[in-house]
Amino acid sequence: MRATSEQVLCVKREDIFPDGAWNDFISDRLDWYQAVIRAHHIFKPRAEVEDDPTYQQIIPYVVFRHGHRYLLTHRLRASSERRLRKQYSLGVGGHINPGDLEGGDPIQDGLKREWEEEVIYEGRFEAKLLGLLNDESSPVSKVHLGVVFLVDGDSPDIAIRETTKLAGQLLTLAEMRIYYLEMESWSQMVYDRLLREES
């Protein structure tokens, strides 16, 4: 869907950050933040909010793990998101659209739809909420709020659906360290968190 016509789920920055924006990956008050998103979300044209920090676009962000290996993806030159091309990502995520509300929960339904658009995976899918990501350091990340989930898969058989836009492989945290500086900022924050948990 083109950014000019796509409607995306947002929350006013003052609603989600009543005490001012934090710059971190947090795991506290998650019920409160989810309640705010569910109660105060609105849909706005993506083209209007991509550069408007008065709104936070809510992005479900799924990290896949099988054993000690995680799915690391690489955005190729054909990726539709120009600003993130050629970067590595530890999560699969995207915007929530109006059609995602049909199941009753915009966050859960949005993450499942985005997951199925990006990857082919027939194994168990149970998403556990890890935390929220806010990164104020770049124009892209500043207008997005990540809702980070971890899926512990029971099968390593996972494949990228759109292979012209994305490549992916399962790697341990140690193996993917060489890509750290080429990861998008959210992925670096997730990587640091996972590394602390494993050590």
User: All domains of the chain, ordered by start, with CATH?
Assistant: 7-198 (3.90.79.10)
- Spatial separation of the C-alpha atoms in residues 84 and 37, rounded to whole Å: 25
- Spatial separation of the C-alpha atoms in residues 29 and 18, rounded to whole Å: 13
Does 191 score more than 90 pLDDT?
Answer: yes
Bridge partners (DSSP) listed for residue 183: 88
The predicted structure's pLDDT at residue 83: 52
Does 78 score more than 90 pLDDT?
Answer: no
State both tokens at 35.
Answer: 């309640």
Does 34 score more than 80 pLDDT?
Answer: yes
Amino acid identity of 182? Answer: E
- Spatial separation of the C-alpha atoms in residues 38 and 181, rounded to whole Å: 34
Mean pLDDT score, 22-38:
94
Pick from 12-16, 66-70, 104-108: least confident: 104-108
The predicted structure's pLDDT at residue 79: 44
Confidence band, pLDDT 50/70/90 cuts, at residue 1 = very low
3-state secondary structure of 190: helix
